[in-house]
Every structure is written in C-alpha cells, then in structure tokens.
C-alpha cells in the first residue's frame, strides 16, 4: 500500500509538472517591432551603472610635443630659427601647454569602483548619487 501511494505520487508529478509549469500568457517576439518594443521598455530593478562619487581629483598631462626637425639633407647646410610675431608665437605656446583633466571615482552599487576621466569640470560633488552614461558622470534625478 505505501508503495502504490509513492508510485501514484511520482506518476502524477511527472505527468502534471510540465502542464503546471507552462505559461499560457507567454508571448515570444515574432518580428522587428516586437524586439524594438522590448528594447525600449524601461528596465526595472537596480541600475547597473549607478553609484556614489567617492573622490574627484585634477590631473595634468603634457601637451602634444612638436616633432623633431627633419634630418639635414646636406651636412654643410645650417638652419636658422625664424622669429614669429603675433598669434603664431601664442599658438605655438598653447600647443605645448599642459592639459587639465578631472578623474571622478565612482563606487557602484555592487561595490566595484570606476575611474572616469573627463576634460571639462564635473558638475557633481563627492557624495552625490550618479549614473555613468557613455563614459560621462551624470547626477541621478531619482
């Protein structure tokens, strides 16, 4: 008697389980419009690239250097520097000027850190809740 009950329970579990697991309201995408609709739907749940600003620091880089002069064609030729005036000299100085950038350290919600470098001054401050979009740090609105 106990064996028949166990056998009946196993048979019912095998036969009934696939139908009880099936979802009748499941809709599979069948065309480009369905896929586009799925992509455009807002995602719920945690933001993958959201976090808190933990630090902001300035960093300077050397500007691009001018190429060294071309080798002399003949060893007997001597070159002389040409003295420029006006904006030519100023433009030459700006080419070698150091470049300033900002490195924003973000601690994501999953505990990992990211260092985002941008050339304009960030609009966020330490402790702000932010989202990283296309390599830029944006203040979260929620």
Number of domains in the chain: 1
Quick check: is 8 in a domain? no
Quick check: is 105 in a domain? yes
* Each residue's pLDDT tens digit, 23-45: 556 677 788 887 777 777 665 55
Class of residue 53 by CB neighbours under 10 A (exposed 0-12, middle 13-18, buried 19+) = buried
Task: Provide the domain limits for residue 118.
Answer: 47-65+90-142
Quick check: is 51 in a domain? yes
Note the pTM of the prediction, 2 decimals. Answer: 0.48
Class of residue 40 by CB neighbours under 10 A (exposed 0-12, middle 13-18, buried 19+) = exposed
Quick check: is 13 in a domain? no
Quick check: is 140 in a domain? yes
pLDDT band at 99 (very low <50, low <70, confident <90, very high): confident
What is the average pLDDT across 136-140? 89
Mean pLDDT is highest, among 5-9, 62-66, 114-118, for 114-118
Q: What percent of the chain has pLDDT over 70?
A: 58
Quick check: is 71 in a domain? no
Quick check: is 103 in a domain? yes
User: What are φ and ψ of residue 137, in 5° steps?
Assistant: -100, 125
* Each residue's pLDDT tens digit, 61-97: 776 655 555 555 555 666 666 665 556 556 666 666 7
Quick check: is 112 in a domain? yes
Q: pLDDT value at position 105? A: 94
């Amino acid at each position: 008697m106990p064996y028949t009950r166990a056998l009946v329970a196993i048979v019912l579990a095998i036969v009934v389980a696939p139908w009880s697991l099936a979802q009748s309201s499941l809709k599979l995408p069948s065309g480009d419009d369905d896929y586009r609709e799925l992509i455009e739907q807002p995602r719920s749940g945690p933001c993958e690239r959201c976090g808190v600003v933990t630090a902001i620091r300035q960093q300077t880089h050397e500007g691009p250097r001018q190429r060294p002069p071309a080798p002399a064609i003949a060893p007997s030729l001597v070159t002389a520097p040409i003295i420029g005036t006006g904006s030519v000299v100023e433009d030459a100085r700006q080419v070698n000027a150091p470049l300033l950038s900002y490195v924003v350290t973000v601690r994501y919600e999953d505990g990992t850190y990211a260092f985002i470098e941008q050339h304009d001054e960030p609009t966020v401050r330490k402790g702000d809740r932010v989202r990283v979009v296309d390599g830029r740090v944006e203040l979260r609105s929620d």
